[in-house]
Structure 1
Amino acid sequence: MTSFRDQLHRTFQLHEVPQRIVSLVPSQTELLCDLGLEENIVGITKFCVHPNHLLSTKKIVGGTKQVHYDKIKALQPDIILCNKEENAKDMILELEKIAPVHISDIYTIEDSLELVSMYGEIFNISEQANTLIEGIKKSKSEFEDFISIKPIKTVAYFIWKSPWMVAGNNNFINHLLFQNKLDNVFANENRYPEVDIQNSTVTPDLIFLSSEPFPFKKEHKKEVQAYYPNSKIIVVDGEMFSWYGSRLLKAFDYFKKLSEICHCY
């Protein structure tokens, strides 16, 4: 019996290296696959769309907020992987009756790297985990050199419509905006506040409309532009700003391209 801890500093015990994994967080499912653990995944959510073939090859046990406990139990998992923000506390309590639960809690890139390291220990794949960590660190360092000469711009990052909601502080999105030298005009608001865009008192240089969780598209730009006539409106890839783990390997190249768009006016 070996003891492990998660990112909420909870401890749990495993008899052996887990072979059957249920992942209830899309970005963590992607991370598992990139660490070479795809064959060990037995259950996922309907939002676990990367790699895209998983939805047809793995058992879907629900979403991130609601799951079918009977389906999870039938899969006989050795471990269930969750996230504090994505999965509710009452859900965790029920899941712990089925198998040990690991909960991630991600606010920064450093938190993400810690999660990768934890998975390396739990699944006995530390070499693969360390390789991924070093790759992310290298990409981050190269991006920091690139972005260092760019001027700071102000931004509002919209995540939802009806009601309009933005990313405030104390979340991974805000952290990545900071990494991009973007000053979040709603950083004085906690988490994901609702905003009244019809009576907005801020005029950011940039308005980001995220492709998720609300699927903002180009047709939404005109509606938002009416309330922010002096801001540049850009539809951004929400996965790059909110999917932690192995997605960070792709994110920094995306941020370089996005920076060129942001600074082209």
Structure 2
Amino acid sequence: MQVFKDQIGRTISLERTPDRIVSLVPSQTELLCDLGLANQIVGLTRFCVHPSYIKSKKTIVGGTKQIRIKKIAALDPDIICCNKEENTREMVLGLEQIAPVHVSDIYTVSDSLALMKQYGEIFDRIEVAAGLVEEIEQEYNNFLSFASSQPVLKVGYFIWKDPWMVAAGNTFINHLLEVNNFQNVFSGLERYPEISIEDFKKAETPDIIFLSSEPYPFKEEHLAEMEKTFPESKVMLVDGEYFSWYGSRLKKAFGYFRDLRSEI
């Protein structure tokens, strides 16, 4: 029997290394695959799009907020991987009746690396996880040196339209903005507040407005609309996966951030 504490302090007892995994978090599905566990994944969400082949080979059990719990039970999982932000408390309570549930809670790169290390222990992939952590730490530290030499820029990061919503303080996105030496003009607010255009105009004018590719799929037409509304700010479309996926996608994130700086 192995006993672990997940990232919200819950105790998980496992009789053996889990062999049947249900993952309800897209970035964690990608992480599990990069740890060599693709064959052990039996169920995932319709938003688990990386790696590209994974959805076609596994059972889709719903989204991140709404799941088919009977479908998950039928898969007879040994463990279910969740996240405090992505999945609801009610979901976790229901899933606990099926199998042990691991809940991650990610706000920083350090939290992400801690999750990778713990997955290495849980799934007997300690060496693979350690190699992944070492690779990301090196990229991260090199990028911090680069970012510190860049000018501080004020930014607003939009994640939704109708209603407009932004990434504010106490989020992984805000943390990565800070890592990039960006000052989030909404960092004084909490999580993902709704923002009216009028409220936005009253706020501190950002140097740059980022329109994320997810969860709302901002496109060129939205960019043009924002450029007309906020002519004093540079408006850019950005890849939301690099700003919000906290698993192994971090391997590529810091290279993307370097390229983003070169575009500004």
Q: TM-score, normalised by structure 1?
A: 0.98
Structure-2 separation of matches of 1:85 and 1:206: 27
Aligned-pair CA distance for 1:218: 1.3
Alignment: residue pair count: 262
Q: What secondary structure is seen at the aligned counterpart in 1 of 2:120?
A: helix
Q: Which residue of 2 aligns with 1:75?
A: 75
Q: Which residue of 2 aligns with 1:239?
A: 241
| 1:139-154 correspondence to structure 2 within 5 Å | 139-154=139-154
1:225 maps to amino acid: E
Structure-2 separation of matches of 1:196 and 1:94: 36
Q: Which residue of 2 aligns with 1:38?
A: 38
Aligned-pair CA distance for 1:145: 1.9
Aligned-pair CA distance for 1:226: 2.2
Structure-2 separation of matches of 1:179 and 1:143: 8
Give the share of equivalent positions with the same residue, in percent.
59
For 2:251, which of 249, 252, 261 is the aligned residue?
Answer: 249
Q: What secondary structure is seen at the aligned counterpart in 1 of 2:144?
A: helix
Aligned-pair CA distance for 1:120: 0.6
Q: What secondary structure is seen at the aligned counterpart in 1 of 2:4?
A: strand
2:98 maps to amino acid: I
Structure-2 separation of matches of 1:147 and 1:69: 44
| 1:83-232 correspondence to structure 2 within 5 Å | 83-199=83-199, 200-201=201-202, 202-232=204-234
Q: Which runs of 4+ in 1 moved over 2 A?
A: none
Residues 8, 105 of structure 1: 8 Å contact kept: yes
Aligned-pair CA distance for 1:127: 0.4
Q: What secondary structure is seen at the aligned counterpart in 1 of 2:248?
A: helix
1:204 maps to amino acid: P
Aligned-pair CA distance for 1:122: 0.3
Residues 56-81 of structure 1, C-alpha deviation per residue, up to 9 Å, x if partnerless?
10000000001001110111000000
Q: TM-score, normalised by structure 2?
A: 0.98
Root-mean-square deviation over aligned CA pairs: 0.7
Q: What secondary structure is seen at the aligned counterpart in 2 of 1:128?
A: helix
Residues 198, 227 of structure 1: 8 Å contact kept: no
> Unaligned 5+ residue runs, structure 1?
none
Aligned-pair CA distance for 1:146: 1.6
Aligned-pair CA distance for 1:222: 1.4
2:263 maps to amino acid: I
Aligned-pair CA distance for 1:88: 0.4
1:9 maps to amino acid: G
Residues 188-209 of structure 1, C-alpha deviation per residue, up to 9 Å, x if partnerless?
1000011111352131000000
Structure-1 separation of matches of 2:134 and 2:14: 27
1:259 maps to amino acid: R
1:224 maps to amino acid: M
Aligned-pair CA distance for 1:12: 1.2
Residues 120, 128 of structure 1: 8 Å contact kept: yes
Aligned-pair CA distance for 1:114: 0.5
